[in-house]
Amino acid sequence: MVGQIQLDTQVQFVKGVGPRRAEQLAPLGVRTVEDLLTYYPRRFDLRRQAQPMCSLRGDEESATVAGKVVATNYRAYGRKPFFECTLAGDDGWVGIKWFHGGYLRDKIVPGIHLAISGKVSMYREAVQFVNPRFQVIWDPEGTRFDADELLPVYPASAELSSGQIALVVRRVLPQAKDLIEEWFDEKYLEKRGLMPRGAAVAAMHRPEDRDQWASARRRLAYDECFLMQLGVAQIRMREVSRPAHALPRTPQIDRRIRARFPFALTAGQDRAVEEISADLQRDRPMNRLLQGDVGSGKTVVALYAALQAVANRRQAALMAPTEILAAQHYHKVTRYLAGSRVRIALLVGGQKEIERKRILNALAEGSVDLVIGTHALLGENVKFARLALVIVDEQHKFGVRQRTGIRGKGFAPHYLVMTATPIPRTLAMTVFGDLDVSTIDEMPPGRGTTVTRCVSESDWPAVLKEVQKHLETGQQAYFIYPLVNPSAAVDLKAAQEAHRELSAGPLGRFGVGLIHGQMPAAQKEAVMSDFHAGRVRVLVASVVVEVGVDVPSANVMVVVHAERFGLAQLHQLRGRIGRGQSDALCLLTASPTNPVAKQRLEVLETTSDGFKIAEEDLRLRGPGEFFGTQQHGLPELKVADLSEDFELLRLARRDAFEIVRRDPGLGDPENQKIRREMLKVYAGRLNLLTGA
């Protein structure tokens, strides 16, 4: 019975739902009453703005009308059976058709009143709606609704329309205020201008007006941000409570480290060095994010930190996401430290067993000071004698478990994240919210300028001519493809196919190489060696070159099917060129039939600021896609928008950190409701609370 439902009641037991409708709701993630109450509309149509039916022209992209159903008909024959009805208003009538709409026969009957929203078309000189959204305004059972209310539009499925979902929600909505538990007292809510939680959930579905909906959204977005920040605060509290080895820095150590670099650090690098060095000198583990645009010199800052650890007779580990980048770091660091007493090793998955064992023994004995590697550093058999600093390059390429795995290899090591994907400020407070942030906000002097142009795929011959012109001056070029092999699922040219075509064409005389993530490590290393040496002047690649690859004479890049990449990823890719003193050219080819993609790519034509690009990428794609996977371990956001809710997130962060500071385990009586919600939301994600 409806009067006996609880939040954990299975939705099939709600009056009027039943097993069949429950099966249809399950793919939408709706299994319990709580799931149903938190399945929010994605937008509202204003029913009060319903147009007069006589004003419809038949070409409107979106229109809303309201009226009485005066006739219905279902035609089951043919390839596309459909259900249709006629809706009459005070000033006219319209026809409405739903293909495969047999399920509506018992729901839309003559006599009921509907609100209809959707695209308008003409059929046999009459106005009609096809497959529109609808909601019952008045039904034969006598449940009347205000004709001026907002019409909720729910994310629908093939089996359930928005209107059908709205009818199910309406069954439980009257009890929302009693079912939804309030976490905070009145004083807390009043101080922050928040409405009660139960009222907010109800208003998200049936607000009285836009202002009430905005207040409801603000409350629920605050709650999501608050829970997220509680998790972040718990992680941070747990980490800083562990002891770590202090790594003092004397003026002599500073001079010796700087003498290893054949250039002076920029002001931005100096500032980051001082922040990191100060952290390393404390007896609590450093937890810091080092971010900077492509080519800003983060690796040098990280190496400074590693050498500060080595100067204190401790070990440092640098983990990169790819073997190519790990090898590049290794060779660059080896050059900087030539003639020094620092013992360096490279540990990657493709090494011979005898070499791997030698390095593992050296790490365990303490005869390696700095190890550079990939996820191979996470192996169970990797033991360190005196690990004091862990540096992770391109942190977002690693999952949470990998991040915590390498940290467990030493006695509370200091932890430094490097990322050349600038982190939007809201993500810096969420995905990286347990870290302090250092930003390198300037580029080393003497760098060339990179010009970016969007071109149509139909201009491919002109693209090849332009690349050939640059190659003839001694430059090198990348061709980047989203796929390695052709796919039947999508009509995209792949790297291997392109390699064959380019090798057989006019660019073949310059030497065309191929590299992708599926190749054996030795083969990849050989290709990169040829490209570095100039024996191969054209490199066809997958996104394996996205991170960190540094070939100063490569000043041309063509990204094919650029619409398949995120903006931040494209910014990373073009960061592989223009790394010397010469200007560079990046050509982004995209389908001419996709104007939306072209408009998005034009952002890269107008700015080279990675932070602006990252903010736009987050706005367009959301945090999960921004990082390529949903691996950050934080709870799903149904209401909060990380691209818009910065001030709200900052307020929630301040509140959450203050509560955790006062009550780390959330054991106080006034925090029990919050603790229960935390355990539920973070179940199976992060071990945050004692007993979680």
Report the pLDDT value the prediction gives residue 149, as an integer from 0 to 100.
59
Give the end of a domain, one of 177, 206, 229: 177
- The mean per-residue pLDDT over the stretch 626-648 comes to 69
Same-domain check for residues 270 and 306 = yes
Total residues belonging to the chain: 692
Same-domain check for residues 287 and 308 = yes
pLDDT at 399 over 70: no
Residue 186 lies in a domain: no
Same-domain check for residues 621 and 563 = yes
Kindly report which listed range (2-6, 85-89, 393-397) carries the lowest average pLDDT score: 393-397
Give the end of a domain, one of 149, 177, 205: 177
Report the pLDDT value the prediction gives residue 549, as an integer from 0 to 100.
67
Report the pLDDT value the prediction gives residue 78, as an integer from 0 to 100.
74
pLDDT at 690 over 50: no
Residue 691 lies in a domain: no
Same-domain check for residues 334 and 362 = yes
Kindly report which listed range (121-135, 430-444, 578-592) carries the lowest average pLDDT score: 430-444
pLDDT at 539 over 90: yes
Helix (H) or strand (E) holding 496: helix 495-504
Same-domain check for residues 373 and 429 = yes
Same-domain check for residues 389 and 275 = yes
Report the pLDDT value the prediction gives residue 145, as an integer from 0 to 100.
44
Q: How confident is the model at residue 519 (pLDDT cuts 50, 70, 90)?
A: confident
Report pLDDT digits (tens) over 217-237: 999 999 999 998 888 888 888
pLDDT at 489 over 90: no
Same-domain check for residues 140 and 260 = no
- Cα-based torsion angle of the residue sequence 349, 352, 355, 358 in order, rounded to the nearest 10 degrees: 70
Q: How many other β-carbons are positioned within 10 Å of the β-carbon of residue 461?
A: 8
- The mean per-residue pLDDT over the stretch 567-586 comes to 85
Q: Are 114 and 9 in contact (CB under 8 A)?
A: no
Same-domain check for residues 435 and 492 = no
Same-domain check for residues 531 and 576 = yes
User: Got the DSSP string for 404-430?
Assistant: HHHHTTSSS-EEEEEESSPPPHHHHTT
Helix (H, G, I), strand (E, B), or coil: what is residue 391? strand
Residue 2 lies in a domain: no
- The mean per-residue pLDDT over the stretch 320-344 comes to 91
pLDDT at 48 over 60: no
Give the end of a domain, one of 606, 626, 646: 626
CA atoms within 13 A on the CB side of 536: 21
DSSP strand pairing (150-153 vs 43-46)? antiparallel
Whole-number percent of the chain with pLDDT over 90:
41
Task: Compute CA 402 distance to the chain's CA centroid, rounded to the nearest angstrom.
Answer: 18
Report pLDDT digits (tens) over 421-465: 777 766 776 666 677 889 888 888 877 788 999 998 889 999 999
pLDDT at 189 over 80: yes
Report pLDDT digits (tens) over 54-97: 888 888 888 888 888 888 999 887 778 899 999 987 678 899 99
Residue 47 lies in a domain: yes
The CATH code of the domain that includes 86 is 2.40.50.140
Report the pLDDT value the prediction gives residue 388, as an integer from 0 to 100.
94
Split into its structural domains, the chain has a count of: 3
Residue 426 lies in a domain: yes
Residue 416 lies in a domain: yes
Residue 687 lies in a domain: no
Report the pLDDT value the prediction gives residue 22, as an integer from 0 to 100.
92
Kindly report which listed range (2-6, 211-215, 455-459) carries the lowest average pLDDT score: 2-6
Q: How far apart are the C-alpha atoms of 424 and 332, rounded to whole Å?
A: 29
Report the pLDDT value the prediction gives residue 630, as an integer from 0 to 100.
45
Q: Please give the residue range of the domain that contains residue 92.
A: 11-177
Q: How confident is the model at residue 544 (pLDDT cuts 50, 70, 90)?
A: low
Q: How far apart are the C-alpha atoms of 549 and 96, rounded to whole Å?
A: 58
Q: What values do phi and psi take at 103, rounded to 5?
A: -65, -15
The CATH code of the domain that includes 503 is 3.40.50.300
Report the pLDDT value the prediction gives residue 398, as an integer from 0 to 100.
47
Q: How confident is the model at residue 150 (pLDDT cuts 50, 70, 90)?
A: low
- The mean per-residue pLDDT over the stretch 359-386 comes to 91
Q: Are 457 and 463 in contact (CB under 8 A)?
A: no
Same-domain check for residues 434 and 454 = no
Q: How far apart are the C-alpha atoms of 432 and 262, rounded to whole Å?
A: 32
**Which residue shows structure tokens 């706005």?**
619
pLDDT at 367 over 80: yes
Residue 52 lies in a domain: yes
Same-domain check for residues 364 and 498 = no
Q: Are 566 and 625 in contact (CB under 8 A)?
A: yes
Report pLDDT digits (tens) over 259-272: 999 999 999 999 99
Q: Are 114 and 69 in contact (CB under 8 A)?
A: yes
Report the pLDDT value the prediction gives residue 405, as an integer from 0 to 100.
57
Same-domain check for residues 406 and 471 = no
- Mean pLDDT score of the chain: 84
Higher pLDDT, 531 or 612: 531
Kindly report which listed range (477-491, 492-506, 552-566, 633-647) carries the lowest average pLDDT score: 477-491
Helix (H) or strand (E) holding 347: strand 344-347
Whole-number percent of the chain with pLDDT over 70:
86
